Structure 1
Amino acid sequence: MTMRKILPALLLTATALAGPIACNVPGANAPASEATTGTALGIRTDWMDKTVKPGDDFYAYANGAWMKNTQIPGDRSSVSSSFESQKTTEANMGELIAGLLKSEPAAGSDAAKIKDYYNAFMDTAAIDAAGLKPVQADLARFSAIRDVAGLSKVLGEQVRADVDPLNSTNFATENLFGIFVTQSLAGNGVMPYILQGGLGMPEREYYLAADPKMAGLRDKYRAYIAQFLTDAGIPDAAAKAQRIYDLEMKIAQAHMTRDESDDWNKRASEWGSADLASKAPGIDWNAFLGAAQLGGQQTFAVYHDGSVPKLSALVASQPLDAWKDWLIFHQLNSHAEVLPAKLRADHFAFYGTALQGTTQDLARDKRAIAASSRPPYSNAVALGDAMGDAVGKLYVEKYFPASAKAQIEDMVGNIKSAFAKRVEGITTLAPETKKEALAKVNSIVVGVGYPDKWTDYSALTVDPHNAYANAIAGEKARYAQQIAKIGKPLDRSEWWMNAQLVNAVNLPVQNALNFPAAILQKPDFDPAADPAANYGATGATIGHEISHSFDNGGAMFDATGKMRNWWTPADLSRFEQSGNMLAQQYDTYAPFPGMHVDGKMTLGENIADVVGLQAAYDAYRASLKGKEAPVIDGFTGDQRFFIAFAQSWATKMRDELMRVRLATDGHAPGMYRALTVRNLDAWYKAFDVQPGDKLFLAPEKRVKVW
């Protein structure tokens, strides 16, 4: 897994989030940390446990007191160092919306639409009073299905641009197929990608794995479907729930594995429209594509070419009534946030508590303004999903100073230069490979803070009194915006994250990076802090994203974003050997007996961590211009650099979420990402780590990669 969010998406609840860390961030600071934020020191000494030997457990040394004193709030499934940034962003967003609610924006303006969307979402009394009336037209469409052609048409109508296999590695959609639009992996123009979908749980392993915990979740999911349909007033709910579950089991069996999804080298299939009918019979493709507004499209990037034929066959082979039940459930399930209270409560009980261990839902006002960064199996109907870019524009105008943008751009330039120097200094790299690598790093397009061009929402209609209609309108507007790109030149400046998101991302096909404004604030970045801390935290994030262009997935793309092998066989062999070493290193990290980090699945992120940290360290040392940094509070500059890095990954998560992460997420949990330091010689010198220390790796075992 590569080219994705540096942070694994901050998991707030199952219904409101932000990834993807992701990422994606798992995040929260201990309250006491605020006393040191913004000081000349930059690191949080009150987080540390200095009784721990750095070479035995560097994570505990840097974060031991934080781990002991920090509690996970009931409405969160995890907390980490970046939670303070998230809280600041939430407070800013709350202030922004409060001001907007008091204003009288011009009718039809983005501000007016934001206000109306928010008010409709917050009016739970109206949502509860409306019951299922807003959904009746959709339910009637499903009930009217009489044959495979009709089913195919409805499945096409349901398609959304709600997956992203390259940037955020989001493979999940409750619709049977998901659409993603960008340049094809082979570089043959901008076209629609077709991805597998159709599941209500995170991914196929939840249905198929023999693990007792997964089996228990399957029982809870089946019970949830029945309870949810009962509370929705759907007759014969128990029997329908069993049919839905049985159909999803067949869908899961048809799915390709996560490892297969992550192997970009094998995901570059392009089919003509006629190929869909010949290679994937079952569904009526003409009806499906016409309803999906893709009837005139001649070429498709069939990302999941192994599962699309199997899913298509299920459309014809499984009973129509099972499909109609499935459509009803998923239409309600994916929009539970804007449906009556019983359904909202049922949804949280399964997706929040059973899947992630959270004991209370996030406050609705926070869910209303959530950025588009939820896990793929949660509702995606908040303001951040429908009009995230419009909200982001207002956010940066009020909260992101030009000085911060300039400072980050300077740091990005320094780290790019440091990475280029590392490439130039690799004596074992063939000249032709080195030339391609340098061309790629020098041509990376870096977006800092916000996009140069904001999304146009003029076609979006918002009803101040109908939250469900607004959710559907937002999804359709997003879909229209994405399919409008088909056949046009690739826009390398396109952003895939909103400015108000605490995260960052690498975009492989565009050879570009996005660093949203919200991650460029304290404590993740403090303009007044010690450079060692800024380079160790934000600098490592920047280095990570740059390095994604050269991880096990990114290294398969050239400077133009086309996937091709630009390596000599010898260079590629050495690169793969280094990757195998790193995968084996991460396989040893096991938070539960019999369940460990998947070194292969997390390899792209782990390579980017190693290379990014090294590039950030090189850039930091270069910034000293040959001098040594001052010793502050007894810590050298190098020590502060590495402590800041480890503290940027301070992480606590509930066991339920840890299991989700280990099974589905290409990011290793933060406490293991902090151990990236084991591969840098400078860390050993900084803390006098010696043979016999638990984290010691012999020099030949330290993975260099680049």
Structure 2
Amino acid sequence: MRRYVGRVGISCLQDSGTGSTGSGNGADKAGARFGSWGVETQYISPAIAPGDDFYRYVNQGWLDTAKIPAGFPLDGAFIELLLRTEKQVQHLVDEVVSHTAEPGSPAQQIADMHASYLDMERRNALGCSMLLPEVEAVLELKDHRQIARRMAMNGHMSLVSCHVDQDPGHPERYILTFAQSGLGLPGRDYYLKREKHYIGLRAAYEKYIEGVLQRAGIKGAGKKAAEILAFEKEVARRQWTPEQARDALKNYHPMPLTKLEAYAPGFDWKEFLVEAGYDEVDLVDVNTDKAIRKLAKLFSETPVDTLRAYLVFHYLNNHAELLSDEWVDAHFDMFKRRISGVREQRPLEVRVVEFLNATVGEQLGKLYVARYFPTEAKAEIDRLVKFVIEAFRERLAQVEWMDEDTRKAALVKLEAITTKIGYPDQWHDYSSIQVSRDDLVGNVRRQREWHRQDDRDKLGKPFRKWEWYMYPQKVNAYYSPTGAEIVFPAAILQAPFFDPKADPAVNFGSIGMVIGHELGHGFDDQGRRYDATGALRDWWGEESSRNFEIRTRRLVEQYNRYEPIPGLRMNGKLTLGENIGDLGGMTVAWVAYRKFVESEYHGKAPVIDGFTGDQRFFIGYAQLWRTLAADDYLRKITLTDPHSPGEFRVNGVVRNFAPWYEAFGVMPDHKLYLAQDERVAIW
């Protein structure tokens, strides 16, 4: 299990006595990107009491004027940074394509992948013709055995995903891992919910399936579309819920490969694994195990004709964004506009940057860090991380509900967490991948196959500690429980999440909180199950586990009451890990900030524009999560995403945190007020 979190930023820790996390005098009036000291104070609404709605107190002016950019279902600080990063990447691409490069070099691969994607004249002329030989081959499959083998092929959909991952029980090695799969819509609830909205989406999806089959010349497209949708409904009924699927203990089910056939009968595992290239492995990990048993049985009970149609549709759909305008537009209408609420397609010259990041992202990443991430930045952000780790260490030493043996083990785990910053120390060698200017679909296939072969090569070898799961220009960050590491790609280490010219309070409330959030994932409801080596095992004392679960149940109950849109309640169990990360991240960032104030300001930060340092800390945090989102997007993430919407990442956190009450004079008559015995404090 890996956990990822978005919305993070660049940190620069400059020497100033004990160190600086921004302008030593509170703010550099000339240079902060957001406002004069890191916050756009023009958007603060004095008409809203901070204690009634802190999120809107800080962000209402922005919410009133913001517009969702083309091609996105939302806007916010994260999107602003993403757009700026894309422009940086676009400049690099423009330089690369203007020169001739050596075959097999990163520059040649970038340039030719770029050219193949932009060649709409060729793409429109070809349509889906390059896919038809495989479509015809699928339509000739005779039995379930042949279907199972096809499901393992590059570009095809399967009821079971198959990939190589770190072994949670033995993190020093890799293991072949299976998990439930097989759906075209974002999650099982899209098939099972009976509300009018989801009934309409299913009808639209059926029409989309029919259109895909018709464009490929498949006869009886309408009947086949109905059969495919009905089949996917049955798949959805057998899948685990998102909250079940994030349970680390329930998901770890290692077994000898020889027992897989008997454990999940009905699916031809031998044919599937031969085609995938994994038929000689000894051990496998069956995630979502009970779902896979049910899916294997469903597979055996489903007519071959239905499975053929299912394979054909998904093979075409998996390539739709690489085909002609007709295919691209239909795919956008279904999956971006109808499901996520995106109003208009991004221009081709912008979409190509997204595509290059997805296909040659690491090759671009080497260029990106050379241009936009100076080597000294690594050391600077590393010092800030250590500052926050010290605060976390202090909190672990103080929590009253944890027994001493568990506390000692937790402190050992904290010390063992590795921090990776900016870019990997070692890069993959992609020079063997053939990239052609006139073969877009082939380029993507060969890129995917390289990664499949690379996965095969990992089995039987030690875990690659150098390998990253994100490229440097990715605006994101993650914590890996099995890797015992927190990772901050270069692109996320920029304003608005950290600005070296901004007020230190704002930096602690944003990047400091995010660092604390990532560390906190090591001690959330799932991350706590992994020890200092990254091994999945029970290392907590019974009393500490019981005390932890009492607190987390209360947090679940709080978030279950929140409604992103009227009538749609959040799933507190699904978002629990991220909510623990937010609350814990806020806490340790606050402790780190107060230690900074003691050392830099002798205990009293300057007042800026009428705001105390403590107030600026929380205002910076609230600005970080400002979000304007389409309702359809909010529906989607509420059903499928472990992160809470921005409003609740602010209000849901601060109302549990005593220093916020003190900073803004929040009283019992305020709407966000919680009595002390109702507040949740974990870390």
Instruction: Output one character per residue of 1:195-247: Cα deviation in whole Å (capped at 9) or x when no partner.
Output: 11111101111111222211111111111111222233322211221121122
Paired position in structure 2 for 1:183: 166
Amino acid across the alignment from 1:134: M
- Out of 160, 182, 185, the residue aligned to residue 201 of structure 1 is 185
Q: Which residue of 2 aligns with 1:672?
A: 648
Cα contact 1:423–1:434 (8 A) shared by 2: yes
Q: Does residue 475 in structure 1 map to residue 448 in structure 2?
A: yes
Q: Distance in 2 between matches of 1:228 and 1:138?
A: 15
| Cross-structure match for 1:693 | 670
Conserved 8 A contact 1:547-1:611: yes
Q: Is the 8 A contact 2:132 2:216 kept in 1?
A: no
User: Aligned AA for 2:570?
Assistant: V
Distance 1:644 1:221 in 2: 41
Match of 2:98 among 97, 102, 126: 102
In 2, Cα distance between equivalents of 1:316 and 1:422: 54
- Please state how far the C-alpha of 1:159 moved relative to its aligned partner: 7.4
Aligned partner of 2:382 in structure 1 is: 409
The change in CA–CA distance for 1:541 and 1:81 in structure 2 (over 3 A counts) is same
Distance 2:459 2:49 in 1: 56
Matching of residue 87 in structure 1 with residue 83 in structure 2: yes
Secondary structure at 1:332 match in 2? helix
Q: Say yes or no: does 1:116 pair with 2:112.
A: yes
Partner Cα separation in structure 2 for residue 275 and residue 313 of structure 1:
16
CA distance in 2, matches of 1:535, 1:402: 22
- After TM superposition, the structure 1 = structure 2 runs for residues 456-471 of structure 1, keeping only pairs within 5 Å, are 456-471=429-444
Given that 1:72 and 1:79 are in contact with CA atoms closer than 8 Å, whether structure 2 keeps it comes out as: yes
Matched, 1:265 2:242: no
Counterpart in the other structure of 1:630: 606
| Contact 2:118–2:349 under 8 Å retained in 1 | yes
- Report the counterpart of residue 48 of structure 1 in structure 2: 44
Shift of 1:664: 0.7
Asked whether the equivalents of residues 93 and 111 of structure 2 are also in contact (C-alpha less than 8 Å), the reply is yes
Q: Give, in whole Å, the separation in 2 of the partners of 1:260 and 1:198.
A: 17
Distance 1:271 1:334 in 2: 31
Structure 1: gaps (5+ residues): 10-33, 161-173, 371-381
Instruction: Please tell me the residue identity of whatever aligns with 1:205.
Output: D
Whole-angstrom CA distance in 1 between matches of 2:154 and 2:376? 44
| 2:176 match: secondary structure | strand
- Per-residue displacement from partner, 1:499-536 (whole Å, max 9, x unpaired)? 11111111111011111111111112112211111111
Task: Give the letter for the 1:666 counterpart.
Answer: P
1:537 lines up with 2:510 in the alignment: yes
Secondary structure in 2 matching 1:49? coil
Amino acid at match of 1:326: Y
Tell me whether 1:291 sits opposite 2:275 in the alignment: yes
- Structure 2 alignment gaps of length 5 or more: 9-29
- 2:516 aligned counterpart, secondary structure: helix
8 Å CA contact 1:49, 1:63 repeated in 2: yes
Query: Which of 278, 301, 310 is equivalent to 2:262?
Result: 278
Provide, for residues 285-317 of structure 1, a one-character-per-residue CA deviation record: whole Å limited to 9, x for no partner.
111101001011111110011121222223322
2:326 and 2:55 map into 1 onto residues whose CA distance is 42
Letter in 1 for 2:87: A
In the TM superposition, what is the alpha-carbon distance from 1:89 to its structure 2 partner? 0.4
Hey, what's the Cα distance between the residues in 2 that align with 1:345 and 1:277? 42
State the distance in 2 between where 1:435 and 1:141 align: 60
Q: 2:124·2:325 contact (CA, 8 Å) conserved in 1?
A: yes
Q: Give the match for residue 557 of structure 2.
A: 584
- Displacement of 1:703 after TM fit? 1.2
CA distance in 2, matches of 1:156, 1:223: 27
1:228 is the counterpart of 2:204: no
Equivalences for residues 466-505 of structure 1 within 5 A: 466-505=439-478
Number of aligned residues:
657
**CA drift at 1:127:** 0.9
Shift of 1:491: 2.6
Q: Which amino acid aligns with 2:481?
A: P
Residue pair 1:386, 1:478 contacting (<8 A) in 2 also: no
Q: Deviations over 1:573-597 (max 9, x none)?
A: 1101110111111112113333111
Question: 2:221 aligned with 1:237, yes or no?
Answer: yes
Secondary structure of 1:652's match?
strand
Q: Deviations over 1:137-179 (max 9, x none)?
A: 322331231222211211122478xxxxxxxxxxxxx432223
CA distance in 2, matches of 1:308, 1:159: 21
Q: How far apart are the structure 2 equivalents of 1:682 and 1:295?
A: 57
Work out whether 1:314 is the aligned partner of 2:306.
no
What's the offset of the Cα at 1:409? 1.1
**Counterpart pick for 1:249 among 213, 233, 239:** 233
Amino acid at match of 1:64: Q
Paired position in structure 2 for 1:369: 353
SS at match of 1:105: coil
Instruction: Determine what percentage of the aligned residue pairs are the same residue.
Output: 35
Residue 36 (structure 1) shift: 5.8
How far apart, CA to CA, are the structure 1 residues paired with 2:415 and 2:466? 16
What does the per-residue CA deviation read over 1:61-110, in whole Å, with 9 as the maximum and x for residues that have no partner?
11010000101124211111122211210111110100011011111111
Matched with 1:215 is 199
1:598 match: 571
Q: Distance in 1 between matches of 2:80 and 2:566?
A: 32
Quote the offset at 1:55 in angstroms: 0.4
| Inter-CA distance 222–8: structure 2 relative to 1 (3 Å threshold) | farther
Question: Does the C-alpha gap of structure 1 residues 159 and 228 become closer, same or farther in structure 2, counting only changes over 3 Å?
Answer: closer
309-318 vs 354-363, which moves further: 309-318
| Contact 1:3–1:549 (8 Å) recurs in 2 | no
**Computing the radius of gyration over CA atoms, which structure comes out larger, 1 or 2?**
2
Query: How far apart are residue 38 of structure 1 and its match?
Result: 5.4
Residue number in structure 1 paired with 2:329: 345
2:496 is matched with which residue: 515, 519, 523?
523
Amino acid at match of 2:197: K
Letter in 2 for 1:175: S
Structure-2 separation of matches of 1:52 and 1:426: 34
C-alpha distance in 2 between matches for 1:521 and 1:37: 10
Q: Which amino acid counterpart does residue 235 of structure 1 have in structure 2?
A: K
**CA positional deviation for 1:408:** 1.3
Is 1:653 aligned to 2:649, yes or no?
A: no
C-alpha root-mean-square deviation of aligned residues, in Å?
1.8
Map Cα deviations across residues 350-382 of structure 1 (whole Å, 9 max, x no partner).
Answer: 111110111211222222221xxxxxxxxxxx2
The DSSP-based 3-state class of the residue aligned with 1:561 is coil
Q: Secondary structure at 1:239's aligned position in 2?
A: helix
Q: Secondary structure at the match of 2:210?
A: helix
Kindly state the Cα deviation for residue 134 of structure 1 after the two structures are TM-superposed: 1.8
Which position in structure 2 is the counterpart of 1:426?
399
Question: 1:438 pairs with 387, 411, 418, which one?
Answer: 411
User: Contact 1:159–1:177 at 8 Å: present in 2 too?
Assistant: no
Give distance in 2, aligned partners of 1:148 and 1:590.
Answer: 45
Distance apart, 1:336 and its partner CA? 0.7
Counterpart-to-counterpart distance in 1, 2:308 and 2:440: 24
In structure 1, the residue matched to 2:27 is none
Cα offset, 1:8, TM superposition: 7.6
User: What is the aligned partner in structure 1 of residue 124 from structure 2?
Assistant: 128
Deviates more, 1:469-478 or 1:632-641: 469-478
* Partner residue in 2 for 1:151: 147
